[in-house]
Amino acid sequence: MVGPTGRVVGLDFSDALVVLAKRRSETSSVTFSLGDAQVDRAPGAPFDVAASQFGVMFFEDPVAAFANIASQLAPGGRLGFSCWQRVEDNPWWLTGVLAGFLTEPPRTPPTAGPFSLCDPERVATLLGAAG
């Protein structure tokens, strides 16, 4: 998607997952780095886009974390992420196959966790505070 000259940098603070991602990587235009997205800089900044799939809900200090990410974006850069809606809207969490493996999550955001960004208004407030 980034073309022949584009670069993608994956950042995760799990050493095991960075090792796994490197092993699975099939192209030199994608690299992986160990780091905490809340405080660390990804090698290669500034970036045109910051993207996360189900990662940003775990930030202990989301304002500081999103500000840190914003500081690594080029002018006009964009942020995109996926996060879960309310646990009540995700019955797979509490029923079905996963129920035997997962402990019940806190039902009251804003505690950092899978559902901490389920409220769009809170997300807007956090992103606004982060600049």
In the complex, which residues of this chain contact ligand SAM (CB under 6 A)? 11-14, 17, 36-38, 53-55, 58-59
Where are the alpha helices (H) located in 13-115, listed in sequence order? 15-24, 62-70
d(CA 50, CA 38): 13
Q: Measured from the CB of residue 14, what is the shortest distance to ligand SAM in angstroms?
A: 4
d(CA 3, CA 27): 12
DSSP 40: P
Choice between 4 and 61, CB closer to ligand SAM: 61
Q: Measured from the CB of residue 36, what is the shortest distance to ligand SAM in angstroms?
A: 4
Q: Measured from the CB of residue 5, what is the shortest distance to ligand SAM in angstroms?
A: 25
Cα 20–chain centre separation: 17
Choice between 1 and 76, CB closer to ligand SAM: 1
Q: Measured from the CB of residue 54, what is the shortest distance to ligand SAM in angstroms?
A: 4
Choice between 5 and 30, CB closer to ligand SAM: 30
Four-point Cα dihedral 91, 92, 93, 95, nearest 10: 80
